[in-house]
Structure 1
């Protein structure tokens, strides 16, 4: 991707998306050719989060799905998502996964295209230990790593343990994607939530460069920042998207696109736009309030086709090229 800083964020609109086409599998591609996504999450109290994320990943076009979740809910998840292989992981008394999960996941490390960690997980400290145990195993692969929800707490618990006085001491060796809303960003940085909301661009870019991560700071206006200094922005959707499970669906869409071969900035830019447009479609049909997060998933395949259309100049650009870059 082009390494360049823009004076203002580029708008994630139809023109940009059509000039930045997603990887398209050939007609004779098998499910492996469409990408294998692993979703690690869920817990006794929140099994639905991983179900929503997994459904969204498939709707975004991933060809193969594996879910790793707690032993206590693995059978439930398997019944809810019959398209998936489901692995049951050992849990601690607080609902988090133990580090023994790494051994269970190790055989998948070389086979997966993207991994989403976090939806529905509990016990931030245990989740952080698991993330830090997994990252070295994934660093030598081409796997795209997405950290959402509880998994973003890995920033607060570096491998050597918490460091008082510095709320975010950890820096990723290989860039990952982080998807905080303002409240989560406040938790990760120690900065007041209102201050973050008043300077979204600044805080997203500062965090991206400090953590060596692609940061999507979510809100009515979502700002996406890369460590290189590149920024994108998206405005759209409606208040109906502020509902339980909506963030899990967004994370799953992004994971599915990343599994197909989109890099992290492309996957999150497309994912944010598709998520918002799904909300707009449901609002037109059902009303702005009251539609369910699970209903967003079913809108994604048609939106992918509609949004892609023909490229803006009548040509097909290589996957990974960035409009205006």
Structure 2
């Protein structure tokens, strides 16, 4: 299975590699526009906190402007929790998902954003998929990060909510815009209708084949995280600790990546730096609280200092 990739390059994500791949930095007299604008589409009635976690992390990673689009029931809470953000309330389905009609509401503002993150805390697999499918044609080349339920647009087994939808429009076979997907092993198995143990047995092969199949950058999360590009190039990170395996941790990671992307990093660089910063934040928190028991909401606050230290020359 790995033979066709045998000569392809694997880059280890470590301090030296990150310093050799510096993040875009705004000029000293730059304003928030220069630091980029990010749209976070996230949250649901039962998981409003996911939008807050991801949005906070995007700002901590250095994005200049933040807009959050979330379900109508969730929007007032998110607006109170995130005074830094513009908050857009979106119509919901009966199951609590963001309704496909919300794509029409967002369409007029999408051109303003450098990066769009979709998925943290979104519920109703079919409803979320229908919304993302309705939104994709309007993204106009913005860098896109798909997380959690939003990744289901690549699931061939998922039937569209709209029974009149043409079968070929029920899932994305390949993306034609820059896209990053962020599955863990269980999600990867779900997306590919395969066995989780098989993904865990060879995450490198799983990530590479998914990247080529979907024409997308794929960050397969785990104790060893593999970031695979459609070209076959791979970035590998080892680090972090068991404390990062907690509710909301993935939302924080996707927000970090989106924030880095918004300020000018290409998706592969944003993913590599995001994974490294997320892991190092876990290490810092473990030193302070112990390896278990720190919270996902505490991860974003660690990012600025870690990022600054890594950006300094050794």
Distance in 2, Cα, partners of 1:110 & 1:274: 29
Distance 1:168 1:13, change over 3 A: farther
Does 2:257 match 1:254?
yes
Deviates more, 1:230-239 or 1:100-109: 100-109
Contact 1:132 1:154 in 2 (8 A): yes
Shift of 1:169: 6.3
Distance 1:61 1:230, change over 3 A: same
**Alignment equivalent of 2:187, drawn from 184, 187, 193:** 184
Distance in 2, Cα, partners of 1:169 & 1:115: 17
Shift of 1:137: 1.1
Distance 1:158 1:270, change over 3 A: farther
Question: What residue in structure 2 maps to residue 298 of structure 1?
Answer: 301
Contact 2:99 2:131 in 1 (8 A): yes
Distance in 1, Cα, partners of 2:198 & 2:184: 13
Distance in 1, Cα, partners of 2:200 & 2:150: 22
TM-score (norm 1): 0.90
Question: What residue in structure 2 maps to residue 100 of structure 1?
Answer: 101
Distance in 1, Cα, partners of 2:6 & 2:227: 13
5+ unaligned residues in a row in structure 1: which ranges? Answer: 313-325
Distance in 1, Cα, partners of 2:80 & 2:15: 37
Q: Which runs of 4+ in 1 moved over 3 A?
A: 4-8, 157-163
Contact 2:100 2:132 in 1 (8 A): no
Shift of 1:6: 5.2
> 3-state SS of the aligned residue for 1:53?
helix
Shift of 1:107: 2.1
Distance in 1, Cα, partners of 2:171 & 2:234: 21
Question: What residue in structure 2 maps to residue 35 of structure 1?
Answer: 36
Distance in 2, Cα, partners of 1:192 & 1:30: 48
Distance in 1, Cα, partners of 2:70 & 2:144: 17
Superposed CA deviations along residues 33-91 of structure 1, whole A, max 9, x for unmatched, are 10000000100000000100000000000000000001101000000000000000010
Question: What residue in structure 1 maps to residue 200 of structure 2?
Answer: 197
Contact 1:6 1:230 in 2 (8 A): no
Distance 1:158 1:261, change over 3 A: farther
Distance in 1, Cα, partners of 2:167 & 2:98: 19
Question: What residue in structure 1 maps to residue 153 of structure 2?
Answer: 154
Q: Comparing both chains, which one has the higher relative contact order based on Cα–Cα distances under 8 Å and sequence gaps of 6 or more?
A: 1
Shift of 1:19: 0.5
Contact 1:5 1:229 in 2 (8 A): no
> 3-state SS of the aligned residue for 1:52?
helix
Shift of 1:161: 5.7
Shift of 1:162: 6.0
Over aligned residues, Cα RMSD in angstroms? 1.8
Contact 1:6 1:229 in 2 (8 A): no
Deviates more, 1:13-22 or 1:96-105: 96-105
Shift of 1:8: 5.2
Shift of 1:132: 1.6
**Alignment equivalent of 1:173, drawn from 172, 176, 182:** 176
Deviates more, 1:8-17 or 1:275-284: 8-17
